[in-house]
Chains A and B, each alone.
Chain A
Amino acid sequence: MTEQLATMEFHPQPQAGTAKPWAFPAPDRATLPNGLTVLRCHRPGQQVVAVDIVLDAPLDTEPEGLDGVSTIMARAFTEGTDKHSAEEFAAELERCGATLDVHADHPGLRISLEVPVSRLSKGLALLADALRAPAFDESEIKRLVRNRLDEIPHETANPARRAAKELYKQLFPAETRMSRPRQGTEETVERIDAAGVRAFYDAHVRPATATAVVVGDLEGADLDAMLGETLGEWTGNTTQPRPAVPVTADDTGRVFIVDRPGAVQTQLLIGRIGADRHDQVWPAQVLGTYCLGGTLTSRLDRVLREEKGYTYGVRAFAQVLRSAPDGSGAAMLAISGSVDTPNTGPALDDLWKVLRTLAAEGLDDAERDVAVQNLVGVAPLRYETAAAVSATLADQVEQGLPDDFQAQLYRRLSETGTVEATAAVVNAFPEDRLVTVLVGDAAQIEETVKSLGIGEVTVVTG
């Protein structure tokens, strides 16, 4: 039927105006007398300043059997110092309108402070106290350990978290740190105490192997003076970082079903490892992966969501696990999402068809062009806030990349052709070298999954 509507006047689609120049900001780099590297970047109008501290404390330096000690130490930074008790420290921080987040990951430890510029000096002082003189009080560490133990069942119950835990376990050799949860298991976390935290701190936390990134509207803030009185007071020896062990994985095509009787959806996570940001292929891999599953108009969602309605959304991504100039690093290349239980088999079948079609026919120029326009075009939006700029600069530091990496990446993306992007994404997601984890109702999905021929199927519980 034709809708009878009072009509509006239609106009042709407008053409774009003239683009205004924008470039990813270049930071100023300096070293404080205590050896701390400082990157700073003035972003006019950004009243909330972001400070990222990058510490060289990779997870594989955690002592045997103490997985999670880096996480507990990171959390303990904000639980009291030589000047404040745990409660006082939290109160002082919030009195500045500040937030302080910590994250212990494979490449190292990150501490992210965000604070209104009007209270930057106070925020930096608290951050410096936390790094320089953490209390690591016995009772507070006990509480953090217990708290961490309480979190584990919540993570296990969450389908996406459970899937990730299984993929890492299956993909990486059992003896490597990467195969085990970043924040430890019940067995390892239980063993962590104040002495263990202190020992890890003494071994890995020092200004000489750390970097501070400061981004925001710094006009009118005497940052040098502030840094001198705060992070400049932090002392430590000058031990240099040691080389990392290369990341390896077994990507033989196979399937693991984590059984969840009665689940209304199947969480899927399909992955392997591949090129990281030091590899020449990175821009092509970013581009090709976006075309495969970067958004709801990418190949996967065009079929799985917009044609079939099997899912709210499936994404393909490349996420750096660890990256270093010596080539020892890798990125996790993965496809993730959730599909309703009855359509799990058909959805996986379609997903593999998308991969096979891509390998057989390649990308077309139009989708490559749209992807480049999006990836390059969104840069000014994506880096509007100080926190976004700071996080990317900190990533670059952590991965041993030059400070202009992101700026150059936009140029390289623009120069990447359809053929290169096709080759990169087909290499990244070969149909027979993918480890599939399904968190769902095994009784409902096992047989259909077996019939797909995407690898041997194993059902696990827990």
Chain B
Amino acid sequence: MPMGHTATAEAGSGGLTATEHRLANGLRVVLSEDHLTPVAAVCLWYDVGSRHEVKGRTGLAHLFEHLMFQGSKQVKDNGHFELVQGAGGSLNGTTSFERTNYFETMPAHQLELALWLEADRMGSLLTVLDDESMENQRSVVKNERRQRYDNVPYGTAFEKLFALAYPEGHPYHHTPIGSMADLDAATLEDARAFFRTYYAPNNAVLSVVGDIDPEQTLAWIEKYFGSIPAHDGKRPPRDGTLPDIIGEEKRLLVEAEVPSRALMSAYRLPHDGTRACDAADVALTVLGGGESSRLYNRLVRRDRTAVTAGFGMLRLSGAPSVGWLDVKTSHEAEVPDIEAAVDEELARFAEEGPTDEEMERAQAQLEREWLDRLGTVAGRADELCKYAVLFGDPQLALTAVGRVLSVTADEVKEVAQARLRPDNRAVLVYEPIAPEQAPDAPDTDVNEAAEIEVQEEEAAK
């Protein structure tokens, strides 16, 4: 495979290896050694996300994720946080459409504690889960929703676009944060049932990466997780199959108290795990990645009609992926002018395809993103879990960058022609109104918006 301009043959994976194991109860385990720094990352992916939620209970997967930090049989309220932080570790949990993950990064000599904690809640959460925790975390999550979505300009754009891009009743029609009404309606019994249905060792993948002794680590995993019973009550998510093309442009005008006009679009793209998805990633990078992309050059530098212009991509495996265009206008610039310019650039790109130089640039940027993702033990642990849960093979994480780098200009052109068309998008247009009339509430990163965590990232210095 020609990879002429790439930094190294094994760029991104840097000679990393991973081993796979499976306990008798079905828990899949992935281990990867790296002794450069005395730290170890533990990552646990449960194969459940907002796509598994049912009508009237949106937001339950994420609310439940919060309850996982409220103690279990041997761990008191908030003890999970206290013990990990007291051991010099950091931790969090996040929920997205397709999975819920929990992770701790520990000083290497504290690894066993993290495994013990994860096993305790996997096996015994329901022995302590009560109304008090439920009511408290319901309030916390509602405040999270207000803070991140309802009380910031354009905060609900992501939610609105997904509701447009995926039809009513589709498992991705609603986003992980859920609605206020559904958060209010969730009961303790819903939470218990959710745990019984999805939180089983045979519905999870555990990865441990870093300065570890694999034999010892596996022995600890067997000791703490091995006796947790498997169960098979899981209901598969509703079918996410959709035609390749939306077939018509879906459109919503939002009049809200926002600082400027904005144009946001969601294009339906190939599923993650396919070669066409990697090609789409390259296409979006050429068109809207960084400050040398076609759309940035056109709208921000030349036409000067936009203050920001870019494409992001949300890779999804259980439904079509999304290419997310975000343009905020400059001064009095009009959205129709911007839309015309965008359409002109997309049509030209579909016609011509990328230049050699554009391919080189886009692939260098994508390679860099992989270097960043695999540059920490926590990032590596998360990627290994992702490929194990969604594609059944953690090794694919280590070769992912190679696949993106092997995409050809013809493949990029082909996916652009097939997908980046007006009849394959949902469009959201924001028109500012004066505060008195406003019924509604910085740039939205599509991957950030798709993932919500139990607490905001912190840094003590």
Contacts and interface: CB of A to CB of B under 8 A. Distances in A.
Interface residues of A, number: 90
Contacts of B330: 146-147, 150
Contact of B146 (A8, A118, A264): A264
A3 interface: yes
Given A5-B126, A18-B109, A294-B460, A158 B442 contact: yes
A208 to B, nearest CB: 29
B290 A90 contact: yes
A295 B123 CA distance: 26
Contacts of B68: none
Interface stretch (B159-167, B299-307, B387-395): B299-307
Nearest to B377: A384
A97 B153 contact: no
A83 interface: no
Most buried by A among B14, B147, B364: B147
B113 A14 contact: yes
A195 interface: no
Contacts of B436: 261
B151 A264 contact: yes
Contact of B455 (A5, A21, A150, A313): A313
B260 A154 contact: yes
Interface in B106-150: 106-113, 116, 119-120, 123-124, 126-127, 129, 135-144, 146-148, 150
A407 to B, nearest CB: 13
A263 interface: yes
Nearest to B441: A264
B88 to A, nearest CB: 2
Interface in A219-256: none
Contacts of B139: 308-310
A271 to B, nearest CB: 17
A374 B88 contact: yes
A340 B459 contact: no
Contacts of A86: 301
A86 B428 CA distance: 31
Interface stretch (A29-37, A42-50, A102-110, A179-187): A42-50
Contact of A116 (B123, B124, B153, B368): B368
A46 B14 CA distance: 10
B360 interface: yes
A143 interface: yes
Contacts of A340: 142-143, 146
A156 B460 contact: no
Nearest to B141: A312
Contacts of A2: 127
B375 interface: yes
A284 B302 CA distance: 53
Contact of B109 (A19, A143, A286, A382): A19
Interface in B334-375: 357, 360-361, 364-365, 367-368, 371-372, 375
B151 A265 contact: yes
A5 B89 contact: no
Interface string B417-461: 000000000000000000110100110000000000001101111
Interface string B24-58: 00000000001011110000000000000000000
Interface of B: 7-8, 11, 14, 34, 36-39, 73-74, 77-78, 81-83, 85-90, 105-113, 116, 119-120, 123-124, 126-127, 129, 135-144, 146-148, 150-153, 192, 211, 220, 223-224, 226-229, 231, 257-260, 289-292, 297, 300-301, 304, 307, 328, 330-331, 357, 360-361, 364-365, 367-368, 371-372, 375-377, 435-436, 438, 441-442, 455-456, 458-461
17 contacts: A8-B119, A8-B123, A8-B229, A16-B112, A19-B38, A20-B107, A45-B34, A45-B36, A94-B289, A97-B371, A118-B8, A143-B304, A265-B150, A297-B82, A377-B110, A381-B90, A385-B375
